[in-house]
């Protein structure tokens, strides 16, 4: 995990700490780090946020699923649940709501350093969203032709976005509401500290590890402000084994519930032995 929030004065990203949503040009910083061990299989690159409550009731409700599913009527007349991010300058916002408005928009690039030469690591941006989200829940509006600029005509971008939704990507199958970065963000997290899949690093061959041990650098286009709510940002590299990936939440939950059951079992056993042998005879004592 690489924390690049920049709260420490010595951090290369400290100069970007008070960045705003519409900073132009974006603040950039570079963090060098070392991998002590090689990553043998496919590597998953995440961004992580802390102290960010995506589970707040009003925040979770602030979206229009019909609009996100490509309904043309909802595109121009979003749900009132999206307030106060429903309209802007008398135009409907697409996508509307607080979840979309707060979409993570830092750009992360990874390089391997070998003899002072920086070699870029290929980061795959497709295949990071759930299949059901990409192909069922999120659809672009329909109409004559496939020009998203025309299909989204009459709408405006979310307040905090630097560009409209139809300019999220240059590839047609990853643009608009079906952009995978957008889809991943819209699946809200249950806890205030969470991570979301950002990119994939695929293993090229079986003779070389995906990421060799050694020196690397992380280039960051720092756009996402978190200092105002004491949040933190980090980049995470992870891989999986035959048992799957690391998920400490389930382990903690199982141990907690198991400990409670064990404690209650001991208490009930004591109560049974202490009070369970009472005389159950119907005879009235003298």
Domain ranges of the chain: 2-239
For each successive 10 residues of the chain (286 residues), what is the average pLDDT? 92 88 83 92 94 95 95 93 93 95 95 92 94 94 85 93 92 93 95 94 86 94 92 92 67 92 95 75 56
Q: What is the pLDDT of residue 18?
A: 84
CA angle 109/110/116 to nearest 5° reads 125
**Given the structure tokens 């992870």, which residue do they identify?**
238
Query: For residue 27, which of 4, 60, 43 has the smallest C-alpha distance?
Result: 4
DSSP code of residue 176: G
* 2-3 sheet: strands from edge to edge: 2-3, 232-239, 43-50, 194-201
- Residue 280: the pLDDT is 56
Q: HSE, CB side, 13 Å, CA atoms: give it for residue 152.
A: 23
- Kindly report each contact of residues 78-83 with a partner whose C-beta sits within 8 Å and lies 24 or more positions away, as own/partner: none
Residues 6+ apart with CB under 8 A from 55: 188, 189, 190, 191, 192
pTM of the predicted model, to two decimals?
A: 0.83
């Amino acid at each position: 995990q690489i924390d690049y929030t920049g709260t420490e004065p010595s951090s290369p990203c400290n100069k970007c700490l008070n960045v705003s949503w519409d900073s132009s040009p974006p603040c950039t910083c570079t963090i060098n780090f070392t991998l002590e061990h090689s990553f043998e299989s496919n590597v998953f690159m995440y961004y992580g946020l802390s102290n960010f409550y995506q589970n707040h009731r009003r925040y979770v409700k602030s979206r229009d699923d019909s609009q996100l599913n490509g309904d043309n009527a909802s595109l121009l007349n979003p749900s009132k649940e999206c307030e106060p991010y429903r309209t802007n300058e008398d135009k409907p916002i697409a996508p509307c709501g607080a979840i979309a408005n707060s979409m993570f928009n830092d750009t992360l690039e990874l390089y391997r350093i070998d003899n002072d030469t920086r070699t870029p690591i290929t980061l795959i941006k497709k295949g990071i969203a759930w299949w059901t989200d990409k192909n069922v829940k999120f659809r672009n509006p329909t109409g004559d032709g496939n020009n998203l600029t025309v299909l989204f005509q009459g709408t405006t971008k979310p307040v905090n976005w630097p560009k409209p939704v139809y300019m999220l990507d240059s590839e047609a199958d990853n643009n608009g509401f079906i952009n995978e970065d957008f889809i991943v963000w819209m699946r809200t997290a249950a806890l205030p500290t969470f991570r979301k899949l950002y990119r994939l690093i695929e293993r090229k061959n079986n003779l070389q590890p995906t990421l060799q041990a050694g020196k690397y650098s992380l280039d960051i286009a720092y756009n996402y402000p978190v200092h105002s709510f004491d949040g933190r940002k980090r980049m995470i590299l992870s891989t999986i084994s035959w048992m799957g990936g690391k998920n400490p939440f389930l382990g903690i939950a199982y141990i907690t519930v198991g400990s409670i059951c064990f404690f209650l079992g001991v208490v009930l056993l004591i109560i049974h032995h202490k009070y369970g042998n009472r005389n159950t005879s119907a005879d009235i004592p003298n």
